Amino acid sequence: MNKHNNPGLRSFFAAAFLLSSVCISGTALCTAAAAEQNFSRPTDAQFADSLAYAAAQAKLAGTGAGTSAFTAAPALPVKAGNAAPSFKKVMIIVLENISYKEALAQSFLAGFARQGALLANFSAETHPSQGNYIALTAGTVAGVTSDKPYNLNVRHLGDLLEAKGRTWKVYAQAYPGNCFSGAQSGNYVRKHVPFLSYTNVQKDPRRCAAIADDSGLSPEIAGGKLPDFSLFIPDIRNDGHDTGVDYAGKWLDSYFTPLLKDPAFMKDMLLVITFDEDDKSTATNHIYTALYGSSVLAGSVSNDSYTHYSLLRTIEDTFGLGTLGQNDSTAGPITGVWR
């Protein structure tokens, strides 16, 4: 019998994958095992993904972790949590065009998921890229079918936040500023910044000023002035679009490692790393998405089906914003990974 088609052995490998836990401190790496967890037999695809994840962890163990930020592994066993999310700020980092399996095999992304919560059945909405950014912030793709500039008269997350007296900002690397509406400038591309497609932002200088490059991030952290919601858009090299997932993962490690260790940044923060879309290798547009922060049940893995709409709904519910009445209104919020 082919060992990969043996249900018992397949469950064993899946259990071993979920029970393994990596912790990184400087260049030292340690492992811990869980004592108890409920397992369901994985599909062939999930089994292959689990092996890819295990391979990434093994690679970490063999090579060291460099500057990786993850410290002690969580106390285990890890069980599904019934708590509601309690984060007070959220930052979403969006990377580009990588399959779930390939992303999960990248060492930084594997470690981030292992020390946070992995949403293992998360799908994007469409191809190409731009419609997914619109979906994440407007609850609908709004008829966006290409990456050309769009001017959309639709309600969006910024509207909901402002209506409740909350703040938002986009940190877009290499953005020229001054409500620049061109399609590209150097390594900056407009198609990855959804708020610039909304006409009620385009026409309002005050709201347009909420879109800036990332040079103000460190001062805002130091001054305790982080917005309630922020979207971090790396440039087209750092997001992996022009360079691949290994480059993006190494950039994430170097840029965000100091922030993950900084209480001024992480206090009450939910940090999300997601992708716009996969590489068109799956029919379901299956993408990596992981959550990290004090409100997250560290080491948890959810196999529930989620999308960018689910992430939007989670933010709306946690902040008490109501919905946009689009696909966010019927999407279920993310559950089972909170503490």
CATH code of the domain covering residue 198? 3.40.720.10
Residue pLDDT tens, the chain, 339 long: 443 444 443 333 333 444 343 333 332 223 333 322 332 333 445 444 544 554 544 444 443 344 565 543 443 445 666 889 999 999 999 999 999 999 999 999 999 999 999 999 999 999 999 999 999 999 999 999 999 999 999 999 999 999 999 999 999 999 999 999 999 999 999 999 999 999 999 999 999 999 999 999 999 999 999 999 999 999 999 999 999 999 999 999 999 999 999 999 999 999 999 999 999 999 999 999 999 999 999 999 999 999 999 999 999 999 999 999 999 999 999 999 999
Helix H or strand E encompassing 95: strand 89-95
Burial category of 91 from C-beta neighbours within 10 Å (exposed 0-12, middle 13-18, buried 19 and up): buried
Q: What letter represents residue 111's amino acid?
A: G
The total number of structural domains in the chain stands at: 1
For residues 248 and 246, give the distance between their C-alpha atoms in angstroms, rounded to a whole number.
Answer: 5
Q: Is residue 55 part of a domain?
A: no
Whether residue 158 contacts residue 316, with contact meaning beta carbons closer than 8 Å, is answered with no
Q: Is residue 13 part of a domain?
A: no
Question: Within 10 Å of residue 281's Cβ, how many Cβ atoms?
Answer: 12
Burial category of 280 from C-beta neighbours within 10 Å (exposed 0-12, middle 13-18, buried 19 and up): exposed
Confidence at residue 82, expressed as pLDDT on a 0 to 100 scale: 80
Q: Is residue 258 part of a domain?
A: yes
- Rg for the chain, CA atoms, rounded: 19
Q: Is residue 146 part of a domain?
A: yes
Question: Within 10 Å of residue 165's Cβ, how many Cβ atoms?
Answer: 7
Find, among 208, 233, 228, 85, the residue nearest to 162 by Cα.
Answer: 228
Q: Is residue 53 part of a domain?
A: no
Please give the model's pTM, rounded to 2 decimal places: 0.82
Give the three-state DSSP class for 93.
Answer: strand
Q: Is residue 224 part of a domain?
A: yes
Greatest Cα-to-Cα distance within the chain, rounded to the nearest angstrom: 66
Which residue is it, tokens 């992981």? 290
The residue segments making up the domain with residue 259 are: 80-329
Confidence at residue 19, expressed as pLDDT on a 0 to 100 scale: 37
Burial category of 40 from C-beta neighbours within 10 Å (exposed 0-12, middle 13-18, buried 19 and up): exposed
Q: Is residue 1 part of a domain?
A: no
Cα–chain center distance at 329: 21
Within 102-183, strands assigned E span 117-119, 122-123, 168-172
For residues 216 and 267, give the distance between their C-alpha atoms in angstroms, rounded to a whole number.
Answer: 19
Q: Is residue 283 part of a domain?
A: yes
